[in-house]
Amino acid sequence: MKNALKKKLVVLTGAGISAESGMSTFRDADGLWNNYRVEDVATPEGFSRNPQLVLDFYNSLHRSLQTLKPNYGHIGLVELEEFFDVRVITQNVDNLHEAAGSKKVLHLHGELTKYASVKYPDWPHDWPFDTDLRLGDMADDGSQKRPYIVWFGEGVPNIELAAEWTREADIFLVIGTSLAVYPAAGLLGYVGADVPVFLIDPKPVKSPYKHAITVIQKGASEGMSDLIDIFKRNYILKD
Ligand code: APR
C-alpha cells in the first residue's frame, strides 16, 4: 500500500525504548542522572567549566554504541511500516532506531554518531565509531569539537517539524519516556483531540494532557508485541 494511503503513526520515544538494548535511562534508579550531575555534563556551562569531563562522558556513551543492538521495541516499529506511515520522534541520541531500519527518525536532542563545534553547535558532522573527541580537536571552523547533543538551556531545532508531524498523526504512540522534559513532552499538546494515544512503559507515566491513553504497562519489547496485536485487531486486519 502506498504511504500516502496509510494512516500516520507518529511515535515519541525516550530512553526506555533502548533500556533492553543496554542503554541506561536517565531517571530510573540506576539512571545516568544518579551518577552524573546534569549541570556538569549536559549544559553549555558545564562544558565551559570542565570540557574534559563532558568529553569523557560522551566519549564513553559514543563507544558503547558499538555494542548495542536494537530490541523488539525498535524492530516492531519497523514492522509496522508495512501498514502505517511511521514517523519516529526520538529524545534518544543513540542510533538504534536507524539500526533497526526505521525510515523516518527525527532526533530532538542530537545524535551520538555525530559531532558539532562550539561555534556551530547545530551543524552535525559524522563522528566515526573508533575515535574520541579530545580537548584541542578543532573543527574546520577553528573552534573546539563538541558532541552534537542538545544540552539543557539550548534550543531544540527539530521541535517545529516534530510538532508538525504530531499534528498530522492519525495515531500517537509514546514509548519509554517519563515525559519529564520539555519541549518534547509538550508534543502531546499537538495531538488531535480524537486521535487515539497509546503508551508503553513498565511504570505509570503522568501525562499533563487529558487524552484517553491506552496504557500497556510493560517493557518496550513485550509491550510492542502486545501493541501490534491490538493494531492488528483494530487497524490492520480491518482495512
Ligand atoms: N521499556 C520501556 N520503558 C522503560 C523501560 C523499558 N524496558 N525501562 C524504563 N522505561 C521507562 C521508565 O519507566 C521511564 O518512564 O523509560 C522512561 C525513561 O525516562 P527518563 O529516564 O526520564 O528518560 P527520557 O524520558 O528519555 O528523558 C528525556 O531527559 O535528560 C534528558 O536529554 C535527556 O532525552 C532525555 C530527556
Number of structural domains, the chain? 2
Residues 6+ apart with CB under 8 A from 118: 143, 144, 146
Calpha distance 194→146 (Å, rounded): 42
Question: Domain end: 149, 173, 202, which one?
Answer: 149
pLDDT at 110: 98
User: Comparing C-alpha atoms, which of 179, 233, 150, 188 is closest to residue 27?
Assistant: 179
The verdict on 105 and 120 lying in the same domain is: no
The verdict on 168 and 54 lying in the same domain is: no
177 Cα to the center of ligand 1, angstroms: 4
The residue contributing the CA closest to ligand 1 atom 32 is 109
pLDDT at 3: 74
The verdict on 166 and 116 lying in the same domain is: no
pLDDT at 210: 83
Per-residue cell: 44: 553549555
The verdict on 131 and 220 lying in the same domain is: no
The verdict on 133 and 236 lying in the same domain is: no
Q: Which residues of the chain have pLDDT under 70?
A: 238-239
Catalytic residue from among 74, 109, 125, 211: 109
Ligand 1 pocket mutation, candidates 13, 20, 28, 71, criterion most atoms within 8 A of CB? 28
The verdict on 2 and 85 lying in the same domain is: yes
The range of the structural domain enclosing residue 76 comes to 1-23+70-109+156-239
Residues in the chain: 239
pLDDT at 180: 95
The verdict on 124 and 211 lying in the same domain is: no
109 in catalytic set: yes
3-class state of residue 60 by DSSP: helix
CATH number (domain holding residue 96): 3.40.50.1220
CATH number (domain holding residue 30): 3.30.1600.10
pLDDT at 208: 84
